Amino acid sequence: MQLPAVAEQAHIEDLRLGDVPMQQEVELVSIDLPVELAEPLLERGVLPGCRICPVQSSPGGDPVVSVDGSLLALRRETADCLCVRLVSPFQDVG
Amino acid sequence: MIALVGPPNSGKTTLFNRLTGLRQKVANYPGVTVEQHLGMVNLYDGRQASLVDLPGVHGFSARTLDERVTRDVLEGKIEGMRSPDALILIVDVTRLEAQLMLVEPVLEMDLPTLLVLNMVDELEARGGSIDQEVLAERLGVDVVRTSARTGIGVEEVRAYLHKVACGDTSVEHIERELSNLAGSRALPVIDAFAARRRLVRSVVQDAGFASPRPSRLTEKLDSVFLHKVWGPTIFLAVVLLVFQSIFTWAVPLMDGIDWIVGTSGEWIAAALPDTWYRSLIVDGVWAGVGSVIIFLPQILVLFLFLGILEDSGYMARAAVIADRTMYRLGLQGRAFLPLLSGYACSVPAILAARTIEDERDRLATIFVTPFMTCSARLPVYAILIAAFIPNEPVLGPIMNQQAATLLGLYGLGVVAAIGTAFLLKRTLLKASPTSFLMELPPYRIPAPRTLLLRLLDRSKIFLRRAGRIIFAVAIVLWVLTQFPRAQGGPPDIEQSALGTIGHVIEPVIEPLGFDWRIGIGIVTSLAAREVIVGTLGTIYGVEEADEESLALQEILRRDIEPGAAIGLLVFFAFALQCMSTVAVMRRETAGWKWPALQFFYMLLLGYLGAFISFRIF
């Protein structure tokens, strides 16, 4: 079913990396963090447009994600500041 | 000179060791807080090239100490060190895209550069591939494929170094669209990184990079090591194993060193004429330096374990598991490694905190590290506990009072560290929420060469740092016991300059139940905690006083009230009686502010703790 554009927009903005289920690949939309906290992410290639996939959860409930073949462990507070959107697994990467 | 740069866990140090072998040293430069690992590489015509191994970094934004040093070396800003003639950028090719984020800032240095694609055997084993020629063409640099672990391609790196030495390299300006985009610093930071990333993407795609399949081994191991139940269980088991190794496996080695120092001291004494300098050499210098060397086995065993944990990839997982708890205490997961190391010795532990990106987190970590019960406290604890605490069971047969006291002293250190970290992060080091980001490298079998060379390196640093201070203090102490001369010989200890110092500070420590003798012990143990055992032995005239000396125990029991003895234990649990730590703190914080604050804070805590213990017991 096609959702109204406005609702879809709201839905997109609501989705944070912290809410994404395991093994669900998403695309990073924006980083809602101050520059000094965002920079370590940017340096490791975590930039808007990149594909992220949560692959593991630490015993403390923090996510481990796969980005560009690298595994990154984040705090869930950080993951909750990363806005993402769902992508179809068959969509062309580019 | 050629500089080796690369992200952490790219195999940088393994390649460095392959190229230089034992022809390497740790160099210190004025004003630089991080040691430079310098090595000589043999070239084909008998010449040598010097290679510097820089700390692993993700960028040159100078956010961390490591990044600052790397940038300063590359820009030739280090006094007494030439700026590099060429660079070697090494990356883990299995994670090429993320690791190549460094390529743009490195190319901006405008130096001849060799790009080393390391771990190429792993890439191929997992079905990945890359066209290095296209990569070389697009980036305008030389590219080689290596496996530093097995030695594949290392000769090609050496050939490149030879080329540099012959002046046979130049900087090509082929791909510089990046400079136009990212070079202008006016752009918001995110755009600069986006430009970097676009370059990496396009280059990597042109070079036909096929990502390797995810490592099945890593997936499987992570599902165990990061498991809700198994993860923390294995974590605790690993911590216990490290402890066990420090306290049991290192002991035979330590006994051996103790024996060697003692025996060789006797030989030296026998070989020298009976004059004033014999006592200086044997009792002062030899015994003093020996008291430090004895900790070397513990440090080696600890670093062997930590090295295996780090190189295998487990340490990154341990940091992730520890992060939640550490975060609540005001620290972060990366503080786990320095704090664990602190149980052997604070000096290497404080150095290990350099990987902490957030400066406030790093300061808080190294501020509380000396509260960890280091091995130098053990001889002090051992003799006082043996002398004053009855060996009677508590909690049934599981534990006796002596063991419980020792455990209590460990606990005291942990509580003090937690309380202090909590306090610091709410006052002096108050910060907006910090982040924690940890890259989890694939699990790998550690290379024995790298482990051994690092052990060698660590022990050199430890011996040099600690050795210098102990050497100086041993001489000063010896001089203080020799003057003023009485009838042409050394005076009684109470009449000596050292005894006078003890009497001067007696009023200050009287409320703690300590007399001038303990006062002297506290003063001498400022050099290193365990020195107090030997000092008390000297003062009470007990020959060969060590922590097992029954004669010394007997005298202490007679001379010190039990409350004061417990006070002394608490004092040593808290006070920063270690000049090596103060010295390393000064270097690591580039000033006296933090070490001074730390010293007086811990002294105050020790004083109050001892005062309260004396009143209670």
Please tell me the predicted confidence (pLDDT) of residue B358.
81
Q: How far apart are the first and last CA of chain A?
A: 27
**Is the pLDDT confidence value at B56 over 60?**
yes
The number of angstroms, rounded, from the C-alpha of B162 to the middle of its chain's C-alpha atoms is 34
Residue of A nearest to B8 (CA): A44
Q: What percent of chain B has pLDDT over 70?
A: 91
Please tell me the predicted confidence (pLDDT) of residue B535.
79
**Is the pLDDT confidence value at B27 over 50?**
yes
Chain B residues within 8 A of A37 when measuring between CB atoms: 433-435
- Tokens linked to B608: 């109050």
* Exposed/middle/buried for residue B294 (C-beta within 10 Å: 0-12, 13-18, 19+): buried
Amino acid at B32: V
Please tell me the predicted confidence (pLDDT) of residue B548.
66
Whether residue A22 lies within 8 A of chain B, CB to CB, comes out as no
Fold of A5-86: SH3 type barrels. (2.30.30)
Whether residue A52 lies within 8 A of chain B, CB to CB, comes out as no
Chain B residues within 8 A of A18 when measuring between CB atoms: none
**Is the pLDDT confidence value at B180 over 50?**
no
Do B585 and B350 touch, CB atoms closer than 8 A?
A: yes
More confident residue, B29 or B340: B340
Asked which of A2-16, A51-65, B304-318, B457-471 is least confident by mean pLDDT, the reply is A2-16
Smallest CA-to-CA distance from B307 within B170, B454, B113, B189 is with: B454
Question: Distances from the Cα of B176 to the Cαs of B88, B180, B195, B209, B419, in angstroms?
Answer: 19, 7, 12, 21, 52
**Is the pLDDT confidence value at B144 over 90?**
yes
Look up tokens 């400079």; give the residue: B179
pLDDT in tens, A5-25: 444 444 555 799 999 999 999
Whether residue A72 lies within 8 A of chain B, CB to CB, comes out as yes
Do B480 and B496 touch, CB atoms closer than 8 A?
A: yes
Please tell me the predicted confidence (pLDDT) of residue B35.
61
**Is the pLDDT confidence value at B171 over 70?**
no
**Is the pLDDT confidence value at B177 over 80?**
no
Residue of A nearest to B357 (CA): A40
Per DSSP, helices labelled H in B25-117 are 65-74, 96-99, 103-107
Do B345 and B369 touch, CB atoms closer than 8 A?
A: no
Q: What is the DSSP string of B372-393?
A: S--TTHHHHHHHHHHHHS---E
**Is the pLDDT confidence value at B320 over 80?**
yes
State whether residue A71 is helix, strand or coil. Answer: strand
pLDDT in tens, B598-616: 999 999 999 999 999 999 8
Mean pLDDT of all residues in B576-597: 90
Using alpha carbons only, give the angle B357, B360, B361 rounded to the nearest 5 degrees: 60
Mean pLDDT of chain A: 81
List the B142-145 sheet strands across, edge first. B24-27, B36-42, B48-53, B2-5, B86-92, B113-118, B142-145
Chain A residues within 8 A of B435 when measuring between CB atoms: 33, 37, 40, 74-75, 77-78
CB–CB of A58 and B320 under 8 A? yes
Chain A residues within 8 A of B442 when measuring between CB atoms: 71
Q: Cis bond leading into B105, ω under 30°?
A: no
Please tell me the predicted confidence (pLDDT) of residue A3.
40
Chain A residues within 8 A of B440 when measuring between CB atoms: 64, 71-73
Mean pLDDT of all residues in B177-196: 59
Asked which of B6-20, B390-404, B412-426 is least confident by mean pLDDT, the reply is B390-404
Asked which of A51-65, B36-50, B188-202, B360-374 is least confident by mean pLDDT, the reply is B188-202
Question: Distances from the Cα of B221 to the Cαs of A44, B127, B334, B442, B448, in angstroms?
Answer: 23, 20, 21, 10, 22
More confident residue, B176 or B232: B232
Please tell me the predicted confidence (pLDDT) of residue B241.
86
Q: What percent of chain A has pLDDT over 70?
A: 79
Mean pLDDT of all residues in B188-213: 84
Please tell me the predicted confidence (pLDDT) of residue B248.
75
Q: Which residues, other chains included, contact B479 with Cβ-Cβ below 8 Å and sequence gap of 6+?
A: B497
Please tell me the predicted confidence (pLDDT) of residue B595.
96
More confident residue, B443 or B457: B443
pLDDT in tens, B477-497: 778 888 787 777 778 778 888
Q: Which residues, other chains included, contact B538 with Cβ-Cβ below 8 Å and sequence gap of 6+?
A: B481, B493, B545
Chain B residues within 8 A of A45 when measuring between CB atoms: 97-98, 101, 197, 200
**Is the pLDDT confidence value at B463 over 90?**
no
Helix axes B562-574, B516-524, angle to 10 degrees: 20
Chain B residues within 8 A of A36 when measuring between CB atoms: 63
Helix (H) or strand (E) holding B53: strand B48-53
Whether residue A69 lies within 8 A of chain B, CB to CB, comes out as yes
Q: Residue B29 — very low, low, confident or very high, per pLDDT cuts 50/70/90?
A: low
CB–CB of A42 and B327 under 8 A? no
Fold of B2-213: Rossmann fold (3.40.50)
Q: Residue B173 — very low, low, confident or very high, per pLDDT cuts 50/70/90?
A: low
Question: What are the sequence ranges of the domains in chain A?
Answer: 5-86
Question: What are the sequence ranges of the domains in chain B?
Answer: 2-213, 230-374+412-426, 448-616
Please tell me the predicted confidence (pLDDT) of residue B609.
95
- Choose from B106-120, B191-205, B470-484 the range with maximum mean pLDDT: B106-120
Q: Residue B553 — very low, low, confident or very high, per pLDDT cuts 50/70/90?
A: confident
Residue of A nearest to B316 (CA): A73
Whether residue A42 lies within 8 A of chain B, CB to CB, comes out as yes
Please tell me the predicted confidence (pLDDT) of residue B294.
76
Please tell me the predicted confidence (pLDDT) of residue B184.
43
The partner residues of B48 in beta bridges, in order of sequence, read: B42
Q: Residue A4 — very low, low, confident or very high, per pLDDT cuts 50/70/90?
A: very low
Please tell me the predicted confidence (pLDDT) of residue B397.
66
CB–CB of A73 and B437 under 8 A? yes
Compute the distance between CA of residue B406 and CA of residue B245 in angstroms, rounded to an integer: 18
Smallest CA-to-CA distance from B390 within B406, B404, B401 is with: B401
CB atoms within 10 A of CB B422: 16
Q: Which residues, other chains included, contact B236 with Cβ-Cβ below 8 Å and sequence gap of 6+?
A: none
Mean pLDDT of all residues in B350-364: 86
Number of H helices, E strands in chain B: 29, 10
Q: How far apart are the first and last CA of chain B?
A: 63
Please tell me the predicted confidence (pLDDT) of residue B577.
92
**Is the pLDDT confidence value at B344 over 70?**
yes
